[in-house]
Structure 1
């Protein structure tokens, strides 16, 4: 029995679609490819902050046109391209970090953040001034103390446990859970008159009381205890904690989670406040005066910062 090997022309004919379905499939495939491509471009290109995000609209249109032209060039094997694209997303969904769900979530976070008005502050130059009581504060942030670790763990089981995420997003949500638990329980109490008293984080867990530096120490220790990166900001007469969010893409995720999932009531019609450091990293305000992560700054004067990597 003779096996007939199809020619290239015959293969192209079998893999091509009849008109007008080829046009429809090319358009749908264009949209499917353009969205993740645009997300990558959006995350890595400088935001020109044009009115109604016109720069992003132009970028998306350019990507659509380029992909449309490329797909028309290879339309004779369009079925194979569709199959390979779906296989790639399916593999990412099952075994990797980027699949159908991640594309949908990234797009949703991006669109939502573009409709919001966050409130970034000026870039902070590290080590502006010597940090007051630096060694005492570093020692007080005893994140490895079992009491601190266990409290932080209990906060993550008490709040937002139903939100199933992985990796950096799970860590972000767990840090927000720590913020919520401390914020709900904190009672502001002044230091003894004429004395600067800095309580260890494990000590503050007994009564959840103290002044701004005690709160900053406790928050920083608990954030650190669940894998986050905190820092404490010095403004002269006030100390407050911040947590590292990451890059612009991570900020979009944080904004959506805060305003639409985790702190919807507290952040209603409110802005998200954060700082951008000299390396372009974004830090979210966690002061005790804020009712949600990224609440309004109590003091905007920056004299120094102390990071706990």
Structure 2
């Protein structure tokens, strides 16, 4: 009886065993496939010490590869079964769960793109912000409930990036980027009357898509807020520009990938994202009228005040 069971075990072992050198090839491929999602989880949850060239992440990835390789070599006699289980888990994640083949591909691309092309952070560390100039006039001019502003924003979302699928968690941000594209591609800079600071309402600037930096900021903020985005205005020496709330560092990785690969690939080629990190660790992306893509270079960085439109 014992001998029969041993024979059956040897038969099963022989059935699932892969001959050399294909077992080494399969082990290596399976190692990489397993390491990618595990590394993504670690990368997103571990504190980033900001080492030079992300050496800490490189070390983590190498250690993971070595450990997984050792485990897979111990299981090499049933390597086909391991592959079957791995594929089965991803199929389950793709159909019923929340993490499948497409998520592995998207997260890996996003993570690698961010690590290879680090966004350029501009941290806001200000002890005392000065009073925002013309604050009450600007707040009143941001007519985000005006039907004309809302309809303009809806037009932009139907004109740009409408068919993009697979990024439902970032739908609002993508639609706000559509508004950015529509405004910045058509904006005509016109100065205020001489020796007078003229504050135009959002609906007024919408008529000809023209005005100075504060007019642009007001229209951008109103349009973004009208479709659910969170904008704010930054006041510098002689300049005002809008920003949009992105969220966490993980959100920035996804947004960075979207901008550089899908939404604004030509405009952002070989460029970096420019953003601010507020006192709560939230990330705000630059939307200045001089920017060709969300997160374009700052026109002015000496911050004197910020006006957030919650």
TM-score range, shorter chain: 0.7 to 0.9
Rounded to whole Å, the distance in 2 between the matches of 1:82 and 1:127 is 58
Specify every segment of 5 or more residues in structure 2 that has no aligned partner in the other structure, as ranges: none
Give the Cα separation in 2 of the matches to 1:24 and 1:177: 45
TM-aligned CA distance change 1:116 to 1:68, over 3 Å:
same
Deviation track 1:8-61 (CA, whole Å, cap 9, x = no partner) reads 968974885355466554433322111011112222233344444322211101
The 1:56–1:241 alpha-carbon spacing in structure 2 relative to 1, beyond 3 Å, is: same
Aligned to 2:134: 133
Task: Give the direction of change, closer, same or farther, for the CA distance of 1:226–1:83 in structure 2 (3 Å limit).
Answer: farther
Q: For 2:172, what is the secondary structure of its paired residue?
A: helix
Higher mean C-alpha displacement, 77-86 vs 168-177: 77-86
Contact 1:272 1:295 in 2 (8 A): yes
Deviation at 1:231, TM superposition (A): 1.1
Give me the whole-angstrom Cα distance separating, in 2, the residues matched to 1:144 and 1:126: 33
Confirm or deny: 8 A CA contact 1:126 1:305 kept in the other structure.
no
Q: Does 1:170 align with 2:171?
A: yes
> Aligned residue for 1:47?
48
Structure 2 CA distance, aligned partners of 1:127 and 1:220? 24
Matched, 1:262 2:263: yes
Moved more, 224-233 or 50-59: 50-59
Compute the TM-score of the two structures, normalised by the length of structure 1. 0.85
Separation in 2, partners of 1:156, 1:298:
26
CA RMSD of aligned residues (A): 3.0
Name the CA distance, whole Å, in 1 between partners of 2:202 and 2:125.
26
Separation of aligned partners in 2, 1:242 and 1:250:
15
Aligned to 1:293: 294
When structure 1 is superposed on structure 2, of 15-24 and 161-170 the one drifting more is 15-24
Which secondary structure does the structure 2 equivalent of 1:206 belong to?
helix
Q: 1:183, CA displacement in angstroms?
A: 0.6
Kept in 2: contact 1:123–1:275 (CA 8 A): yes
1:120 partner SS: strand
Which deviates more, 127-136 or 298-307?
127-136
What does residue range 131-210 of structure 1 map to in structure 2 within 5 Å? 131-210=132-211
Name the structure 2 match of 1:108.
Answer: 109
How far 1:190 moved relative to its partner?
2.6
Residue correspondences, number = 306
In structure 1, distance between residues paired with 2:9 and 2:226: 63
| Alignment of 1:90 onto 2:91 | yes
Q: Is the 8 A contact 2:233 2:240 kept in 1?
A: yes
Tell me by how many angstroms 1:111 deviates: 1.9
